[in-house]
Amino acid sequence: MRIHIDKIASVTRNLRLQRTLTLTSDIQAVPGAVVAGRVLGEKTTYNQLEDVHGRMSILHGGDIVVGALGHRNALHGYEGVMPASVAVGDRLNILNLGGVIGTCVSHNPDVGRPFEVEILGQVLIYPDFGSRVGQPATIHMGALEPRSAPKQVPVVFVAGTCMNAGKTAAACALVRHFTQAGLKVGGAKLTGVSLQRDILGMKDYGADVAFDFTDAGVVCTNAENALAAARTLLAHVAESGADVIVAETGDGIMGDYGVQAILADPELRGLAAAFLLCANDPVGASGGVRELAEKYGIHVDVVTGPATDNRVGVRFVERELHLPAINARNDAKALGAHVLEKVQARMVKA
């Protein structure tokens, strides 16, 4: 079946798909399988889709879209599961702005119920020139080659207590400051659900290269795949010639996206030049600092995020946690300078 596609989601970017595609009715129900579906109904909230270039476009009923099967566990968004089987005509849901498609089982009222999509088939690709034999498409095709051991390049880890805790704002502030200091900076988004907005932000702020887990063939990270994906990403960014890597972990340090597997890995912890904790409030800051120290032996170098938006939170962090508290939005230069000292000290030791 040949079909013209209205919108191609960013989760499929590894494949560089064209607007006219061939579908098969034999659908593989596996994470990353690339499928086409027809949008059912209209929404006024959370109604956009990110394309492969990072542009957001509004979805309308009747649009034919291409995304990838997967799951999501977002506190401020949708909880969705990977379906056990998928057939033409099934109604699934668009679980995020990046085009991840699965079965929604709960949602946050702020985003409303998700779009439904009627599944039309799985996309076929033709990797061999002139061949008429198509292969069922998955985002593993065209992904970065797996790596097991990252090079010894200083890494600044940016983690948070939850989603929407200011991690990307902090990461971008660091990228800009390091770049202005003359360093070649690489960026990485290690965990979360597929959306390239954050790595595009890092590039906008000066990163020479930035990858996320989707570049490694992962739709949504979890305890089983997060560590391998993180190793691959950090290795490829290091191989690009980066002097320093700013690595953001999506969601929170106690979430369901596999952040714990990265924190628990001695080799990745050994790459750390600094560790930033982004927190929404004083309780989160206190609990996050304690969790990282007691469970992983990680010393937080600076607290940022909404908990430091004014002097109330800053005083708490400095007085009760005895740590620097520097806001990425209000004082990006000071945050960058503080962390740059850590990076430079690590470079001297190396």
What one-character-per-residue DSSP string does 67-78 give?
EEE--EE-TTSE
**pLDDT level of residue 155 (50, 70, 90 thresholds):** very high
Residues linked to residue 325 through DSSP beta bridges, in sequence order: 303
**130 — pLDDT class (breaks 50, 70, 90):** low
Q: Is the predicted pLDDT of residue 104 greater than 80, yes or no?
A: yes
Residue 154's pLDDT band (cuts 50, 70, 90): very high
- Give the pLDDT band (50/70/90) at residue 27: very high
Integer Cα distance of 94 and 21 in angstroms:
20
pLDDT of the residue at 24: 97
Whether residue 146 is contained in a domain is answered as: no
Amino acid at 285: A
Looking at 106, 136, 166, which one is the last position of a domain? 136
**Residue where the block lists tokens 């290269």:** 209
Fill in the amino acid letter for 256: D
Mean pLDDT, residues 42-69 taken together: 96
Q: Report pLDDT digits (tens) over 207-219.
A: 999 999 999 999 9
Question: Tokens for 260?
Answer: 């714990």
Using 50, 70 and 90 to split pLDDT, how confident is the model at 141?
very high
Give the pTM.
0.94
Residues 6+ apart with CB under 8 A from 121: 1, 23, 24, 25, 27, 35, 36, 88
* DSSP conformation class of 196: T
9-33 per-residue burial string, b: 16 or more CB within 10 A, e: under 16: bbbbbbbebeeebbbbeebbeebbb
- Mean pLDDT score, 286-298: 97
Contacts with 26 (C-beta within 8 Å, 6 or more apart), sequence order: 122, 136
DSSP state for residue 90 in the 8-state scheme: -
Query: pLDDT tens digits, residue range 301-346?
Result: 999 999 999 999 999 999 999 999 999 999 999 999 999 999 999 9
Q: Quick check: is 7 in a domain?
A: yes
122 falls within a domain: yes
Residues 188 and 157 sit within 8 Å (Cβ to Cβ): no
Q: Is residue 129 part of a domain?
A: yes
Structural domain tally of the chain? 2
User: Of the candidates 73, 104, 136, which is a domain's last residue?
Assistant: 136
| Residue 215 CA from chain centroid, whole number | 10
Residues 199 and 104 reside in one and the same domain: no
On whether both 257 and 341 belong to a single domain, the answer is: yes
Question: Are 162 and 131 found together in one domain?
Answer: no
User: CB neighbours (10 Å) of residue 292?
Assistant: 18
Q: What is the pLDDT of residue 59?
A: 97
- The pLDDT value recorded for residue 103 is 97
Q: How many CB atoms lie within 10 A of CB 148?
A: 9
Domain span including residue 282: 155-349
- State the pLDDT at residue 272: 96
Is 106 in the same domain as 165? no
Residue 147: what pLDDT?
93
Structure tokens at 216: 């490694």
Residue 75 in any domain: the answer is yes
Does residue 159 share a domain with residue 89?
no
Question: Residue 152: what pLDDT?
Answer: 87
Evaluated on CA atoms 211, 217, 221, 223, the torsion sign reads: negative
Q: In the listed set 136, 164, 182, which residue is the last one of a domain according to the structure?
A: 136
Least trusted range by pLDDT, from 2-16, 119-133, 227-241, 327-341: 119-133
Phi, psi of 176, rounded to the nearest 5 degrees: -65, -45
With a cut of 80, say whether residue 113 has pLDDT above it: yes
Nearest 5°: phi and psi at 43? -140, 150
Q: How many secondary structure helices (H) and strands (E) does the chain include?
A: 8, 19
> Can you give the C-alpha Rg of the chain in angstroms?
21
How far is it, in rounded angstroms, from Cα 68 to Cα 256? 20
Cα–Cα distance between 44 and 318 in angstroms, integer? 42
* pLDDT value of residue 235: 96
% residues pLDDT > 70 (the chain): 99
Q: What is the mean pLDDT of residues 15-21?
A: 95
* Cα 57 from Cα 48, distance rounded (Å): 5
Query: Per the domain annotation, does 224 fall within a domain?
Result: yes
pLDDT tens digits, 159-201? 999 988 999 999 999 999 999 999 999 999 999 999 999 999 9
- Confirm whether 147 is domain-assigned: no
Residues 80 and 93 sit within 8 Å (Cβ to Cβ): yes
**Confidence category of residue 350, pLDDT binned at 50, 70, 90:** low
